[in-house]
Amino acid sequence: MADRTSEPVPRLSREPDHDPAHSVLQATLAEALSSASRSQSSRPPARNDSQRIPPVPASARNSAAPATPGVTTVVLTHHQAPSGTARLPFVQDSDSPTAAAFRVLRHKLREVDSPRIIAITSPNAAEGKTTCAIDLAMALAEHGRSHVLLLEANFRSPHLAAALGFSPPSCFGAQMAAHMKTPASPWQVTAAFFPNLHVLAVDPASVGQWVLNPPALKNALDQFRASSYEHIIVDCPPTLGSADVNVIEDLTDGVLMTAVAGRTSATSLQQAARHLAPANILGVVLLQR
């Protein structure tokens, strides 16, 4: 089952809440955004609007999807939302509270100098990380606003392609292994729902064949960072129970943690924060069932 909850809504306000993890979430979010603002103030300024990809009109969504020359090539264009209870708010209900909340999250990230490569994780499995990665990527890509890559780095339990409703034409794990031998070959990506939103997913049928390979992942992210992608969202494994996220976080600009109201405990959030230290934790996104 894909790592999604039914119609999740990120809680970005600071109103009182009876969930036991809420006070920890509030403190983590406030502290993380404040420290991120300070730590990133010395970084080079974000690119201005004149350097951004021009907006893509809605009428162009069914046209050939653009690739990043020399880095990626689009081998599949996908527009069909998955069946079942899982929803894609930016595709199926762009005026929903969920979509609005992720637009707020997009704005909040700009306040901390728009970190370019963001890792999305949660303390444990089934706590909204894939949901958050997809919805944040779509918020960043809607209306042709930015050229976005959504990347899956969860090789043990991949859910990204299923959550989007397609089968990966080329597994990211297999491509990473191939690129260690032929680094100049283009990455094969899927353009999902927006021509400027590209996806590199792990094939669920490949579970057991691939594990996280730090040099291969670094090689991939170095190439994507040197490309025209303005945002790279990495859907990670859970934080607790393995060291995979510690490897991934060292290659990114910051980490967003997710939690589900009524499911994620304050204790697991505190454990995850300690496990990630000294990562640049950008904040915590609280999702509602």
The answer, yes or no, to whether residue 33 has pLDDT greater than 50, is no
Q: What is the CATH code for 27-36+70-82+90-287?
A: 3.40.50.300
CA distance 148 to 53: 10
The answer, yes or no, to whether residue 199 has pLDDT greater than 50, is yes
Question: What are the sequence ranges of the domains in the chain?
Answer: 27-36+70-82+90-287
- Given this model, what pLDDT does residue 54 score? 32
CA distance 119 to 126: 16
Tell me phi and psi for residue 14, to 5 degrees.
-120, 40
- 3-class SS string, 237-282: CCCCCCCHHHHHHCCCCEEEEEEECCCCCHHHHHHHHHHHCCCCEE
- Compute, in degrees rounded to 10, the torsion defined by CA atoms 168, 172, 233, 249: 150
Question: pTM, whole model, 2 decimals?
Answer: 0.80
Q: What is the average per-residue pLDDT within 5-9?
A: 44
State whether residue 284 is helix, strand or coil.
Answer: strand
How remote is the C-alpha of 177 from its chain's centroid?
A: 22
- For 14, half-sphere exposure in the C-beta direction (CA atoms, 13 angstrom radius) is 7
Q: Are 241 and 275 in contact (CB under 8 A)?
A: no
Peptide bond into 278 cis (omega under 30): yes
State whether residue 49 is helix, strand or coil.
Answer: helix
Per-residue pLDDT tens over the stretch 229-279: 999 999 999 999 999 999 999 999 999 999 999 999 999 999 999 999 999
- Given this model, what pLDDT does residue 19 score? 46
